[in-house]
Amino acid sequence: MKYIIITILTLGLLTSCITTPKGKIDEKTENLSTLPFTEGVPIRIDFEKGKEFYYPLIVFWIEDMDGNFIETIYASQSIATGTFRYGVAQGGKWTAGERRRQAALPYWGHRRGIKAPDGLYLPTPQEPLPDAITGATPKSNFQLTTSVKPDLQRFKIFMEINQTWDWNHHWHNNLYPDDEEYKTSCQPALVYMAEVDLTASTKEFELNPIGHSHPSGKTGELFPDLNTLTTALQIAKKVVVKVVGFD
Protein backbone atom coordinates (compact mmCIF):
# COMPACT_ATOMS: atom_id res chain seq x y z
CA MET A 1 0.00 0.00 0.00
CA LYS A 2 2.89 2.38 0.82
CA TYR A 3 4.33 1.95 -2.67
CA ILE A 4 0.94 2.52 -4.31
CA ILE A 5 0.52 5.82 -2.44
CA ILE A 6 4.03 6.97 -3.41
CA THR A 7 3.33 6.13 -7.06
CA ILE A 8 0.09 8.14 -7.04
CA LEU A 9 1.77 11.16 -5.45
CA THR A 10 4.60 11.01 -7.99
CA LEU A 11 2.19 10.95 -10.91
CA GLY A 12 0.37 13.91 -9.39
CA LEU A 13 3.58 15.93 -9.33
CA LEU A 14 4.42 15.05 -12.92
CA THR A 15 1.09 16.29 -14.21
CA SER A 16 0.16 18.99 -11.74
CA CYS A 17 0.11 21.93 -14.12
CA ILE A 18 -3.58 22.80 -14.16
CA THR A 19 -5.28 22.23 -17.49
CA THR A 20 -7.64 24.92 -18.66
CA PRO A 21 -11.17 23.50 -18.68
CA LYS A 22 -12.23 23.06 -22.29
CA GLY A 23 -15.74 24.40 -22.60
CA LYS A 24 -17.80 24.82 -25.74
CA ILE A 25 -16.40 27.51 -28.03
CA ASP A 26 -18.42 29.40 -30.62
CA GLU A 27 -17.66 28.15 -34.15
CA LYS A 28 -18.51 31.48 -35.75
CA THR A 29 -15.62 33.20 -37.55
CA GLU A 30 -14.78 36.53 -35.96
CA ASN A 31 -13.71 39.60 -37.91
CA LEU A 32 -10.90 41.65 -36.37
CA SER A 33 -9.22 44.77 -37.66
CA THR A 34 -6.09 46.72 -36.72
CA LEU A 35 -4.40 49.75 -38.25
CA PRO A 36 -0.64 49.74 -37.59
CA PHE A 37 0.02 51.91 -40.68
CA THR A 38 -2.52 54.46 -41.91
CA GLU A 39 -1.15 54.33 -45.47
CA GLY A 40 -0.26 50.65 -45.41
CA VAL A 41 -0.91 47.83 -47.87
CA PRO A 42 -3.92 45.75 -46.72
CA ILE A 43 -3.43 42.10 -45.87
CA ARG A 44 -5.69 39.56 -44.19
CA ILE A 45 -4.73 36.78 -41.81
CA ASP A 46 -7.07 33.79 -41.73
CA PHE A 47 -6.74 31.78 -38.51
CA GLU A 48 -8.34 28.35 -38.26
CA LYS A 49 -8.34 27.01 -34.72
CA GLY A 50 -7.18 23.53 -33.79
CA LYS A 51 -8.87 21.09 -31.46
CA GLU A 52 -6.89 22.34 -28.43
CA PHE A 53 -7.80 26.01 -28.92
CA TYR A 54 -9.08 27.64 -25.73
CA TYR A 55 -8.65 31.43 -25.51
CA PRO A 56 -4.88 31.55 -26.16
CA LEU A 57 -2.82 34.73 -26.10
CA ILE A 58 -1.80 35.68 -29.65
CA VAL A 59 0.44 38.28 -31.21
CA PHE A 60 1.38 38.98 -34.84
CA TRP A 61 4.26 41.16 -35.97
CA ILE A 62 6.40 41.85 -39.04
CA GLU A 63 10.14 42.00 -39.60
CA ASP A 64 12.17 42.81 -42.68
CA MET A 65 14.10 40.07 -44.47
CA ASP A 66 17.19 40.88 -42.41
CA GLY A 67 15.36 40.17 -39.17
CA ASN A 68 14.82 43.76 -38.05
CA PHE A 69 11.62 44.22 -36.03
CA ILE A 70 9.22 46.61 -37.77
CA GLU A 71 5.88 46.62 -35.97
CA THR A 72 3.31 44.64 -34.02
CA ILE A 73 0.20 44.29 -36.15
CA TYR A 74 -2.05 42.59 -33.57
CA ALA A 75 -1.79 41.68 -29.89
CA SER A 76 -4.34 40.18 -27.51
CA GLN A 77 -5.64 42.98 -25.32
CA SER A 78 -4.55 41.45 -22.01
CA ILE A 79 -0.89 41.16 -22.99
CA ALA A 80 -1.05 44.52 -24.80
CA THR A 81 -2.27 46.34 -21.70
CA GLY A 82 -0.71 44.30 -18.91
CA THR A 83 -4.16 43.78 -17.40
CA PHE A 84 -5.73 40.34 -17.31
CA ARG A 85 -9.31 39.33 -16.62
CA TYR A 86 -7.98 36.80 -14.11
CA GLY A 87 -4.93 38.73 -13.03
CA VAL A 88 -5.18 39.05 -9.26
CA ALA A 89 -6.16 36.50 -6.62
CA GLN A 90 -8.24 38.10 -3.87
CA GLY A 91 -10.34 36.37 -1.23
CA GLY A 92 -9.99 33.02 -2.93
CA LYS A 93 -11.18 34.39 -6.28
CA TRP A 94 -9.47 35.65 -9.41
CA THR A 95 -10.31 39.22 -10.41
CA ALA A 96 -9.17 41.55 -13.17
CA GLY A 97 -5.92 43.34 -12.54
CA GLU A 98 -2.30 43.89 -13.50
CA ARG A 99 -0.32 40.73 -14.15
CA ARG A 100 3.23 40.31 -15.40
CA ARG A 101 3.16 37.16 -17.56
CA GLN A 102 6.84 36.84 -18.44
CA ALA A 103 6.40 33.40 -20.01
CA ALA A 104 3.39 34.33 -22.13
CA LEU A 105 4.84 35.67 -25.41
CA PRO A 106 8.55 36.21 -24.70
CA TYR A 107 9.99 35.83 -28.20
CA TRP A 108 7.85 38.74 -29.43
CA GLY A 109 8.62 40.79 -26.34
CA HIS A 110 12.35 40.49 -26.76
CA ARG A 111 12.19 41.06 -30.54
CA ARG A 112 10.17 44.21 -29.90
CA GLY A 113 12.94 45.23 -27.53
CA ILE A 114 11.12 47.66 -25.22
CA LYS A 115 11.99 47.01 -21.58
CA ALA A 116 9.55 48.08 -18.87
CA PRO A 117 10.77 49.63 -15.57
CA ASP A 118 10.55 46.21 -13.89
CA GLY A 119 12.99 44.78 -16.44
CA LEU A 120 10.44 42.74 -18.39
CA TYR A 121 9.89 43.06 -22.13
CA LEU A 122 6.16 43.55 -21.74
CA PRO A 123 3.70 46.44 -22.08
CA THR A 124 2.35 47.84 -18.82
CA PRO A 125 -0.97 49.46 -17.83
CA GLN A 126 0.95 52.74 -17.70
CA GLU A 127 2.50 52.22 -21.18
CA PRO A 128 0.21 49.87 -23.11
CA LEU A 129 0.29 49.17 -26.81
CA PRO A 130 -1.80 51.55 -28.94
CA ASP A 131 -5.48 50.68 -29.34
CA ALA A 132 -4.92 50.57 -33.11
CA ILE A 133 -3.04 47.28 -32.84
CA THR A 134 -4.84 45.52 -29.99
CA GLY A 135 -8.03 43.52 -29.73
CA ALA A 136 -9.93 41.10 -27.55
CA THR A 137 -8.67 37.53 -27.51
CA PRO A 138 -10.55 35.66 -30.25
CA LYS A 139 -13.01 33.01 -29.13
CA SER A 140 -12.81 30.91 -32.29
CA ASN A 141 -11.68 31.10 -35.93
CA PHE A 142 -10.96 34.64 -37.03
CA GLN A 143 -10.00 36.86 -39.93
CA LEU A 144 -7.67 39.72 -39.10
CA THR A 145 -7.60 42.63 -41.55
CA THR A 146 -4.50 44.76 -41.08
CA SER A 147 -1.74 46.41 -43.10
CA VAL A 148 2.01 46.49 -43.74
CA LYS A 149 4.31 49.38 -44.58
CA PRO A 150 3.81 50.49 -48.20
CA ASP A 151 7.53 50.40 -48.96
CA LEU A 152 7.83 46.72 -48.02
CA GLN A 153 7.63 44.22 -50.86
CA ARG A 154 9.19 41.27 -49.02
CA PHE A 155 8.96 40.71 -45.31
CA LYS A 156 8.51 38.08 -42.60
CA ILE A 157 5.31 37.79 -40.63
CA PHE A 158 5.35 36.06 -37.25
CA MET A 159 2.75 34.71 -34.88
CA GLU A 160 3.44 33.72 -31.28
CA ILE A 161 0.72 31.82 -29.44
CA ASN A 162 0.49 30.55 -25.88
CA GLN A 163 -2.15 28.81 -23.80
CA THR A 164 -2.10 28.91 -20.00
CA TRP A 165 -1.42 25.73 -18.00
CA ASP A 166 -0.97 23.61 -21.12
CA TRP A 167 0.95 20.63 -19.74
CA ASN A 168 2.04 17.27 -21.15
CA HIS A 169 4.27 14.42 -20.03
CA HIS A 170 7.43 16.39 -20.80
CA TRP A 171 6.36 19.89 -19.77
CA HIS A 172 5.09 19.29 -16.22
CA ASN A 173 5.54 21.05 -12.87
CA ASN A 174 8.38 18.82 -11.78
CA LEU A 175 10.48 19.79 -14.81
CA TYR A 176 11.34 23.17 -13.25
CA PRO A 177 9.86 22.87 -9.73
CA ASP A 178 11.21 26.21 -8.48
CA ASP A 179 10.27 28.29 -11.54
CA GLU A 180 6.85 29.85 -10.95
CA GLU A 181 6.91 31.72 -14.28
CA TYR A 182 7.33 28.45 -16.16
CA LYS A 183 4.34 26.94 -14.36
CA THR A 184 1.99 29.57 -15.80
CA SER A 185 2.42 28.06 -19.28
CA CYS A 186 4.09 24.62 -19.03
CA GLN A 187 4.30 23.94 -22.78
CA PRO A 188 6.05 27.12 -23.94
CA ALA A 189 4.77 29.60 -26.49
CA LEU A 190 4.97 28.53 -30.13
CA VAL A 191 6.34 30.76 -32.87
CA TYR A 192 5.06 30.59 -36.47
CA MET A 193 6.49 32.41 -39.49
CA ALA A 194 5.92 33.00 -43.21
CA GLU A 195 7.98 34.90 -45.75
CA VAL A 196 5.72 37.14 -47.80
CA ASP A 197 6.52 38.51 -51.26
CA LEU A 198 3.93 41.04 -52.38
CA THR A 199 5.21 40.88 -55.96
CA ALA A 200 4.91 37.11 -56.27
CA SER A 201 2.20 35.50 -58.38
CA THR A 202 0.81 33.72 -55.34
CA LYS A 203 -1.16 35.86 -52.92
CA GLU A 204 -1.41 33.39 -50.05
CA PHE A 205 1.37 32.49 -47.61
CA GLU A 206 0.97 29.92 -44.83
CA LEU A 207 2.58 30.41 -41.43
CA ASN A 208 4.36 27.33 -40.10
CA PRO A 209 5.85 26.62 -36.66
CA ILE A 210 9.58 27.38 -36.50
CA GLY A 211 10.25 26.84 -32.80
CA HIS A 212 9.20 27.56 -29.27
CA SER A 213 10.08 30.36 -26.87
CA HIS A 214 11.98 30.16 -23.60
CA PRO A 215 9.76 28.17 -21.19
CA SER A 216 9.79 30.85 -18.50
CA GLY A 217 10.39 33.86 -20.76
CA LYS A 218 13.75 34.77 -19.25
CA THR A 219 15.39 35.25 -22.65
CA GLY A 220 14.39 35.92 -26.24
CA GLU A 221 15.79 32.63 -27.50
CA LEU A 222 14.01 30.56 -30.14
CA PHE A 223 14.30 26.79 -29.75
CA PRO A 224 13.71 24.95 -33.06
CA ASP A 225 13.17 21.47 -31.57
CA LEU A 226 9.41 20.85 -31.31
CA ASN A 227 9.55 17.12 -30.52
CA THR A 228 8.34 17.63 -26.93
CA LEU A 229 5.35 19.78 -27.93
CA THR A 230 1.98 18.04 -28.27
CA THR A 231 -1.32 19.83 -27.63
CA ALA A 232 0.38 23.21 -28.09
CA LEU A 233 0.80 22.31 -31.77
CA GLN A 234 -2.97 21.78 -31.99
CA ILE A 235 -4.04 25.23 -30.78
CA ALA A 236 -3.81 26.53 -34.34
CA LYS A 237 -4.78 24.30 -37.26
CA LYS A 238 -3.95 26.65 -40.14
CA VAL A 239 -2.84 30.28 -40.39
CA VAL A 240 -2.65 31.96 -43.80
CA VAL A 241 -1.68 35.49 -44.87
CA LYS A 242 -3.62 36.76 -47.87
CA VAL A 243 -2.55 39.80 -49.85
CA VAL A 244 -5.69 41.80 -50.60
CA GLY A 245 -4.44 45.22 -51.64
CA PHE A 246 -1.31 45.21 -53.79
CA ASP A 247 -1.29 46.18 -57.44
Q: What are the CA-CA distances from residue 33 to residues 26, 68, 172, 188, 209 (Å)?
A: 19, 24, 36, 27, 24
- Whole-angstrom distance, CA of residue 38 vs CA of residue 52: 35
CB contact at 8 A, 46 and 203: no
Chunk the chain into consecutive blocks of 10 residues (it has 247) and report each block's average pLDDT, rounded to whole numbers. 42 46 67 93 96 96 97 96 66 65 96 96 95 93 95 96 94 93 93 96 96 97 98 98 76
Residue 161: the pLDDT is 98
| pLDDT confidence of residue 165 | 87
Domain that holds residue 82: 2-243
Query: By three-state DSSP, how is residue 68 classified?
Result: coil
Q: How far apart are CA 243 and CA 42, in angstroms?
A: 7
**Of 224, 102, 108, 215, which Cα lies nearest the Cα of 157?**
108
- Cβ atoms of 43 and 244 within 8 Å: the answer is yes
8 A C-beta contact, residue 189 and residue 104? yes
Quote the pLDDT of residue 17: 57
> What pLDDT does residue 12 have?
44
Alpha-carbon span 217 to 79, nearest angstrom: 14
Number of C-alpha atoms within 13 angstroms, CB side, residue 173? Answer: 13
What's the domain count of the chain? 1
Using an 8 Å Cβ cutoff, are 239 and 47 in contact? yes
What is the residue type of 242? K
